[in-house]
Amino acid sequence: MIVKNLTDIHPLNQPKQAVNVIKVAPITPDWELGVHHHASGQLMATISGLITLSTDIGIWIIPPKTAIWIPANMQHSATGIGISTCYIVFTSEEQLSHHNCQIIHTNDLFTQLLKRAETMNQNYSSNSPDSRLISVLIDEICHAPPQELYLPLPTDKRLKVLTDTLLHQPDLKISLVKCAEQCHMSERSLTRIFKRETSLSIHDWRRRLHIILALQMLNDRNNITYIANKLGYVSESSFITMFKKVMKYSPKKFMIKYLNEDTENLNHS
């Protein structure tokens, strides 16, 4: 099945087989889909563009060659950056072990399986070639390597004041002392509770935020100078060093490998 708008995918319209694959054709750039949920578990695999997904507990970014597993009945919203194309796999919760959202890496075999599954007659019989293909697809989902393109959000209201500030002002340079003052906590308590709630230090959380925002800006074809300035880095080289430390690739090489973009607009590698 192919749809041209994510809003056309409604739980009541989903086929009732255990696994269903839908292709979302290229749609209007920079779309937003408000908070919703599905009765089935859902895997969203990005083919082109960039998709971000938000829940009460975090923000995930899904570039091409990655996918996100969304458990059944989890409230979430989604945003597309650029002209986005994706596959969506609906499957019963019992078939996958992930109980939280999880980003996974997808390979060429995975993409070809999605393409083939999307064209199948959904009324396939058990032990048929189509059912065996679906079994391989599920195996690929279950055993795909995880990715860390995820920004956890704290539930503590005091910490949310801080993270909301950084989300809206990512270039803000704020010391641990000032962070603690804003949260009305001691530095020691802030450090301990922030780590407990997000599994990251404040420094690593900010760096993860910068990676997510940088990927969005790279997908919008902004150059390194612009991105470094928007995120508050003193130089392009310091931003590139941070990006390579987290992503294992320079911005230019990441664009080539994952976003399949022409990198002429990037003035540094």
Tens of pLDDT, residue by residue over 205-228, are 999 999 999 988 888 888 999 999
Q: Are 88 and 43 in contact (CB under 8 A)?
A: yes
Structure confidence at residue 261 (pLDDT): 52
187: Cβ contacts below 8 Å, ≥ 6 apart: 176, 177, 179, 180
What sections of the chain are H helices per DSSP? 108-119, 129-143, 157-168, 176-183, 187-198, 202-219, 224-230, 236-247, 251-254
Provide the greatest CA pair distance for the chain. 63
Task: Locate the DSSP E strands across 25-179.
Answer: 32-36, 41-55, 58-62, 66-70, 76-91, 102-105, 150-152
Q: Compute the half-sphere exposure of residue 153: CA atoms within 13 Å on the CB side of its CA.
A: 17
User: In terms of C-beta distances under 8 Å and separation of at least 24 residues, what long-range contacts does 227-232 make, across chains too?
Assistant: 227/251, 229/171, 230/170, 230/171, 231/170, 231/171, 232/170, 232/171, 232/172, 232/173
How far is residue 26's CA from residue 4's CA, in Å, rounded to a whole number? 7
Residue 145 has φ and ψ, to the nearest 5°, of -65, 140
User: What are the residue ranges in the chain where pLDDT is below 70?
Assistant: 1-17, 27-28, 93-98, 258-269
Q: Are 233 and 239 in contact (CB under 8 A)?
A: yes
User: Pick from 72, 79, 4, 3: which is nearest to 35 by CA?
Assistant: 79
Structure confidence at residue 214 (pLDDT): 93
One-letter amino acid identity for 158? Answer: R
Q: Compute the half-sphere exposure of residue 213: CA atoms within 13 Å on the CB side of its CA.
A: 21
Q: Are 246 and 211 in contact (CB under 8 A)?
A: yes
Torsion of CA 255, 257, 260, 264, to 10 degrees: 40
